[in-house]
Amino acid sequence: MPRSALLLSASLALLTAACSPAPSGPRLTVAINAGVEGEALKQAARDYQPASGVRMEIVELPYSSLFEKAMLDLDSRTGAYDVIMMDDPWFPRLASGEKLIALDPLYEKAGAAGPDPDFIPTSLRLCRDPYPGGRLYGLPYVGNSQFFFYRRDLFERHGLAAPATWDQVLAAARRIAGAEKGVYGYVMRAAPGNAAVADFMPVLWSFGADLLGPDGAPRLDRPEAAEALRFMIELGKWTPPGYVSFNADEVNAHLLQSTAAMSINWPSWISAMDDPSKSRVVGKIAYAPMPGQREPGRAATGNWLLGIPAGSKNVEAAFTFLRWATDRPQMRVAAQRGCPPTRRSVFQDPELVGKFRAFPVQLQSLETARPRPRTPDWNEIENVFGVYVSKANAGSASVGEALERAQAEIAAIQRRARGR
């Protein structure tokens, strides 16, 4: 069905949903992350049922369970799910071996060349395997990327501009911590695994280093990597005690309670900052792109993607739902519900910009963001790397030892993967 006809049909159906009979069409089972990232899609699926006559079954799963159950379904091709949400670092593994339905032929069958150019390129590229120009196996739904939170009131009090480099971040942290009673200059997470890696990757990239090279081999034996890790440890001196066990909740507790001045953060925490029932810093947090150093600042993406398992018995109906949910009108509705979009036009919508003051920075961050390494072995690699980044911050391993051991263990993971 042409896109315009589909949208008109859906709109008319929504107007008469109250008096429509129970859905009698195909049933679509949608696996959704049980968290803030999945809320908008859950509501969209509920809206779609009366709009289309399709019976929507929503399966909410915690983050780790979603990955495990998605892998089980994709490997065995049981057809348990027709649509799955995927965190973008999972995608290379989930898309390997044609476990997901390629969308290019479905677009051709529908008479369309492919996704329209309103999608932000950095988000759409995440849905291609191999990255960045392979076949399309999904569509981007949640446009998460990191950006920088800082206390505008404290920066203005001390005559500081928004930090453009990590050296400026460190200088501002020292100055604010030295002058403001009970306020730490910075707060970061360095718990082993994902937490430490998420906060370290933008620093690593900005120092001109990388975790994996163009050939996919680890490259933590470079001096730039050691310099970046030493910088993180120095910045840790201006972070609250215990940061080596911090995750997102601890970081944001310090921001909300006015005991920290800066952090790397994600869009899901924006609303809490201006909520008087949760925050002591209402109206005081400002947002900036990721600081740079030797290289321009680049945030890490954390997009959520939608794909169709190869075992689905309702591929065409699932594809129609994917296009509907990611089209501009529905993504605008999702944005009003707190879901960061993946379309430029939604980020630039004047009404939404007036409502969500961080949107211009979010768009800038997302357009320049880069993904974690696109490898099917990412989960194992991230865990190992995060353990050693955390150990270095805790002082239980030197910078050299941490990077050397991480390099060796990542190479071993890759050797085992090649042998599978």
Distances (CA, A) of 355 to 123, 144, 209, 252, 337: 23, 18, 38, 22, 11
Q: What stretches in the chain show pLDDT beneath 50?
A: 1-20
**Cα(190)–Cα(202) distance, rounded to whole angstroms?**
14
Peptide bond into 130 cis (omega under 30): yes
Question: 3-state DSSP call for residue 126?
Answer: coil
Nearest CA-CA partner of 397 in 212, 247, 196, 251 = 196
Pairing of strands 139-142, 304-307: antiparallel
Quickly count helices (H) and strands (E) in the chain.
Answer: 19, 10
**Cα(176)–Cα(98) distance, rounded to whole angstroms?**
52
**Cα(343)–Cα(270) distance, rounded to whole angstroms?**
19
Spatial neighbors of 415 by CB under 8 A, at least 6 apart, are: none
Beta bridge partners of 206: none
Q: Which two tokens stand for residue 257?
A: 């309670």
**Cα(83)–Cα(78) distance, rounded to whole angstroms?**
13
Give the torsion through C-alpha atoms of 298, 299, 303, 309, to 10 deg.
Answer: 60
Nearest CA-CA partner of 405 in 220, 175, 183 = 220
- Amino acid code (one letter) for 284: K
- Amino acid code (one letter) for 277: S
**Cα(201)–Cα(229) distance, rounded to whole angstroms?**
10
Amino acid 64: pLDDT: 87
Pairing of strands 27-33, 304-307: unpaired
**Cα(414)–Cα(20) distance, rounded to whole angstroms?**
55
Q: pTM, whole model, 2 decimals?
A: 0.92
The DSSP string of 70-136 is HHHHHHHT----SEEEEEGGGHHHHHGGG-B--SHHHHHHTT--SS-TTB-HHHHHTTEESTTTSEE
Give residue for tokens 């979009």.
341
CATH numbers and ranges of domains, the chain: 3-144+302-368 (3.40.190.10), 147-300+377-419 (3.40.190.10)
Evaluate whether 414 touches 217 at the Cβ level (below 8 Å): yes
Amino acid 285: pLDDT: 98
How many Cβ atoms from other residues are within 10 Å of residue 165's Cβ? Answer: 14
pLDDT, tens only, 93-151? 999 999 999 999 999 999 999 999 999 999 999 999 999 999 999 999 999 999 999 99
Amino acid 25: pLDDT: 79
Evaluate whether 144 touches 267 at the Cβ level (below 8 Å): yes
**Cα(172)–Cα(94) distance, rounded to whole angstroms?**
42
Nearest CA-CA partner of 361 in 138, 152, 88, 127 = 152
The H-or-E segment that residue 176 falls in is helix 166-179
Q: Edge-to-edge strands of the sheet including 83-87?
A: 55-61, 27-33, 83-87, 304-307, 139-142
- Sign of the Cα torsion 154, 157, 162, 167 reads negative
Amino acid 12: pLDDT: 34
Q: Which two tokens stand for residue 277?
A: 């029932």
Nearest 5°: the CA angle 287, 209, 377 is: 95
